[in-house]
Amino acid sequence: MNWLTVPLFLLVVACGAPGRAQSWSEAHTPAPGTTQVFGFYTAGCIQGARALPTEGPGYEAIRLSRNRNWGHPTTIDYVRQLADKVRRAGQTHLYIRDIGQPRGGPMSTGHSSHQNGLDVDISYERSARPALPPAQREQVAVRSLLRADQRALDDTVFSDQHVTLLRLAAEPKNVDRIFVNRFTKKRLCESVTGNRGWIARIVPWSGHDSYFHVRLRCPPGQPQCLAQAEIGGDDGCGDALDLWFRAPPSSSLSIPSGPRTENRSRLPLACDRVLSAP
Ligand SMILES: [Zn+2]
């Protein structure tokens, strides 16, 4: 090693091999290989992720500079099929927010889940908007379903279209659960008639007033994907919902609304390989 190669050697040691991502948010491409999900929604990663095309029939992906439109092919297919159903129901296009990073994993901002390619956030906005080029979708103004005081749904915004949207989103068999604001769940409990089976999969969570979060089940053939415990057998409109209104909203996240042991934080060892793959 001469005087020129020593600093170069030290640089490579310090920075890792050229082109290898050092953090999950620096991985700009999916890990190569067949699609495999490792771990849980809050502590996982994915190999062979697929990107949601930036737009398609019935949807536009927004905030594309974040590079979080990657997920399991099941998730990509789910979004495209939902968008098409919503379009055929006569509604305007959906804005698709974050799915996951190209290799999944923890994000530097914004989410504790969305790590294994099976979570997706979808905006509630239902007013007809013109199609926009991707660069103009970085700052899309969308409305909250809540009043400004956060104490009830805003009935100048919330409509039957939202009920239809949530029903279409919750009906597919591979939907594990959908996180919504407690007031949205309450309204569904009070107003939906006929088949109410899908309401069980709609669960309250803090926030989620301008978008809902769809969580898909571990797809078949993914033995290293960790499933979340099943939600209760009823429609979730009784005690489980009441808890969200008895406690102060500021402490709503500490309510034992589900299996709290699910908040796993340790990534599977296989994720080291996913992150360091060329
Ligand atoms: Zn989410």
Token pair in block for residue 241: 């919902």
Residue 244 CA to ligand 1 center (angstroms) comes to 19
Q: List, for residues 9-26, the tens digit of each pLDDT value.
A: 333 333 344 456 789 999
Helix (H) or strand (E) holding 50: strand 50-51
H helices then E strands: how many in the chain?
Answer: 6, 11
Cβ proximity of 102 and 29 under 8 Å: yes
Residue 166 CA to ligand 1 center (angstroms) comes to 15
Q: List, for residues 142-201, the tens digit of each pLDDT value.
A: 999 999 999 999 999 999 999 999 999 999 999 999 999 999 999 999 999 999 999 999
Residue 278 CA to ligand 1 center (angstroms) comes to 28
Residue 100 CA to ligand 1 center (angstroms) comes to 9
Instruction: Please classify residue 132 by burial: count the beta carbons closer than 10 Å to its beta carbon, then call 0-12 exposed, 13-18 middle and 19+ buried.
Output: middle
Residue 10 CA to ligand 1 center (angstroms) comes to 40
β-pairing, 55-56 vs 36-40, is unpaired
- Residues of the chain with pLDDT > 90, as a percent, come to 82
> Lowest-confidence range among 17-21, 49-53, 232-236?
17-21
88: nearest Cα among 57, 128, 124, 125: 57
**Mean pLDDT, residues 203-232 taken together:** 95
- One-letter amino acid of 41: Y
Instruction: Give the C-alpha separation, 32 to 127, whole Å.
Output: 39
Instruction: Give the C-alpha separation, 278 to 276, whole Å.
Output: 6
The residue with greater pLDDT, 268 or 18, is 268
165: nearest Cα among 59, 64, 42: 59
**Which of these CATH numbers, 3.30.1380.10, 1.10.3720.10, 3.30.70.20, 2.60.120.10, describes 37-252+261-276?**
3.30.1380.10
Instruction: Give the C-alpha separation, 184 to 135, whole Å.
Output: 31
Instruction: Please classify residue 119 by burial: count the beta carbons closer than 10 Å to its beta carbon, then call 0-12 exposed, 13-18 middle and 19+ buried.
Output: buried
Instruction: Please classify residue 84 by burial: count the beta carbons closer than 10 Å to its beta carbon, then call 0-12 exposed, 13-18 middle and 19+ buried.
Output: middle
Residue 110 CA to ligand 1 center (angstroms) comes to 9
Residue 197 CA to ligand 1 center (angstroms) comes to 23
Residue 98 CA to ligand 1 center (angstroms) comes to 7
Please provide the average confidence, as pLDDT, over all residues in the chain: 89
Question: What does pTM read for this prediction?
Answer: 0.88
Residue 20 CA to ligand 1 center (angstroms) comes to 27
Give me the helix-helix angle, 73-88 and 160-170, nearest 10°. Answer: 140
- One-letter amino acid of 64: L
The residue with greater pLDDT, 19 or 257, is 19
235: nearest Cα among 259, 276, 199: 199
Residue 212 CA to ligand 1 center (angstroms) comes to 7
Instruction: Give the C-alpha separation, 11 to 16, whole Å.
Output: 8
Residue 213 CA to ligand 1 center (angstroms) comes to 5
